[in-house]
């Protein structure tokens, strides 16, 4: 069986989506023991990159001015020998062409939407009538797609348990990892963290005005900003932190790979009641859910965990166990395989 994954952008130094780009590549690597796999994406020039042994990323030059909604019809030639076409992101040009291709050549096609859409005249046409199934990453994702009629099966997302190792010895340190953009709600976290507690903020500053604001409200606090860290350096930050906080403020955070990486590393996780955080975090067992933009509630949970390191350690251990039982990439691959075979 040959599975071809199609993703509009790929993970690199120029990444703009972060987890949304890593998802397709990590799933492809996890699928390697079970099928012949390749990944298709788009960029500035045509090239082929190795993702791992026997796994290649085929990049087609983007003809479109939009980075997030690329197009080059020649990618379709890579789909000819595919048994399964699995597109990441739904209402984009490349996905629509892949759907038409699959319909004409009687290929199985599945869609995993990761929250990226580009409005255009074909937005309200129900393209899902021509696909086999949506493989969604959360119940929230399924809800966003409820107007589209294809079946929906939850596959969630995964974490590399070898890269993000469980660490019981933690520092009195809080961590945020993500792009520094207003909808991430980082300002609420900075305001919530006690002045005597270290806060590490890891992520690229895509919005310079917002970054300036974050620096200003950090005055007088132990806030450290880190940019352009390697994967191993980020993993080291997770290993040290007692508490991981993702203070997002909008519903389109469908799941969040950073939650899984934090749990795998033994951090207590705190998320907001928007998006898919509540599907990952078990309230009071692996972490806490607080209302978005509620600095007081966030501060209360952080102070409680810092003051009760034994309880935090128990919650961190429970988080690692949940990651092992629910959120490995191998489990995600097996859920996909089950779905691929369900539409004979």
pLDDT at 344: 40
Asked if the model's pLDDT at residue 122 lies above 70, the reply is no
Asked if the model's pLDDT at residue 77 lies above 90, the reply is yes
Nearest to 27 by CA among 335, 280, 339, 277: 335
pLDDT at 15: 58
* Contact present, 180 and 213 (Cβ < 8 Å): no
As to burial, measured by CB atoms within 10 angstroms (0-12 exposed, 13-18 middle, 19+ buried), residue 36 is middle
Place of tokens 């930050």: 237
Residue 99: phi and psi, rounded to 5, are -65, -45
pLDDT at 250: 81
* Per-residue pLDDT reduced to its tens digit, 7-44: 999 887 665 556 678 899 999 999 999 999 999 999 99
* Per-residue pLDDT reduced to its tens digit, 145-201: 888 889 999 999 999 999 999 999 999 999 999 989 999 999 999 999 999 999 999
* Per-residue pLDDT reduced to its tens digit, 227-282: 989 889 999 999 999 999 999 988 777 888 999 999 999 999 999 998 899 999 99
Asked if the model's pLDDT at residue 215 lies above 90, the reply is yes
Q: How far apart are CA 39 and CA 31, in angstroms?
A: 11
**Confidence at 220, pLDDT banded by 50, 70, 90:** very high
Alpha carbon 236 to its chain centroid, in Å, reads 19
Q: How far apart are CA 277 and CA 253, in angstroms?
A: 8
pLDDT at 56: 96
Place of tokens 């780009």: 21
Nearest to 36 by CA among 21, 7, 50, 56: 56
Asked if the model's pLDDT at residue 124 lies above 80, the reply is no
As to burial, measured by CB atoms within 10 angstroms (0-12 exposed, 13-18 middle, 19+ buried), residue 33 is exposed
Residue 222 CA neighbour count, 13 Å, CB half: 11
Q: How far apart are CA 6 and CA 99, in angstroms?
A: 11
Asked if the model's pLDDT at residue 343 lies above 50, the reply is no
* Per-residue pLDDT reduced to its tens digit, 81-109: 999 999 999 989 999 999 999 999 999 99
Instruction: Give the mean pLDDT of 196-213.
Output: 94
């Amino acid at each position: 069986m040959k599975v071809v994954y199609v993703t509009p952008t790929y993970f690199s130094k120029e990444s703009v989506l972060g987890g949304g780009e890593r998802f397709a590549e990590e799933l492809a690597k996890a699928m390697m023991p079970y099928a012949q796999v390749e990944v298709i994406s788009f960029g500035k020039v045509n090239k082929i990159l190795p993702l791992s042994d026997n796994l290649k990323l085929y990049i087609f030059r983007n003809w479109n001015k939009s980075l997030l909604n690329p197009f080059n019809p020649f990618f379709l030639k890579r789909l000819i020998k595919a048994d399964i076409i699995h597109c990441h992101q739904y209402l984009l040009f490349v996905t629509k062409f892949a759907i038409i291709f699959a319909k004409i050549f009687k290929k199985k096609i599945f869609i995993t939407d990761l929250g990226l859409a580009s409005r255009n005249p074909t937005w309200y046409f129900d393209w899902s009538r021509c696909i086999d199934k949506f493989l969604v990453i959360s119940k929230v994702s399924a809800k966003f797609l409820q107007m589209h009629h294809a079946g929906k099966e939850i596959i969630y997302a995964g974490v590399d348990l070898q890269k993000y190792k469980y660490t019981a010895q933690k520092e009195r340190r809080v961590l945020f990892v993500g792009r520094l953009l207003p909808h991430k709600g980082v300002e609420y976290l900075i305001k919530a963290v006690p002045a005597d507690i270290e806060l590490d903020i890891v992520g690229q500053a895509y919005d310079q005005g917002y970054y300036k604001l974050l620096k200003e409200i950090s005055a007088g606090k132990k806030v450290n900003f880190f940019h352009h860290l390697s994967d191993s350096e980020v993993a080291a930050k997770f290993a040290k932190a007692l508490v991981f906080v993702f203070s997002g403020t909008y519903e389109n955070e469908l799941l969040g790979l950073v939650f899984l990486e934090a749990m795998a590393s033994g951090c207590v996780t705190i998320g907001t009641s928007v998006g898919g955080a509540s599907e990952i975090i078990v309230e009071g067992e692996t972490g806490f859910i607080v209302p978005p933009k509620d600095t007081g509630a966030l501060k209360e949970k952080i102070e409680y965990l810092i003051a009760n390191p034994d309880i935090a350690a128990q919650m961190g251990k429970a988080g690692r166990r949940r990651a092992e039982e629910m959120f490995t990439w191998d489990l995600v691959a097996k859920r996909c395989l089950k779905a691929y075979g369900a539409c004979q």
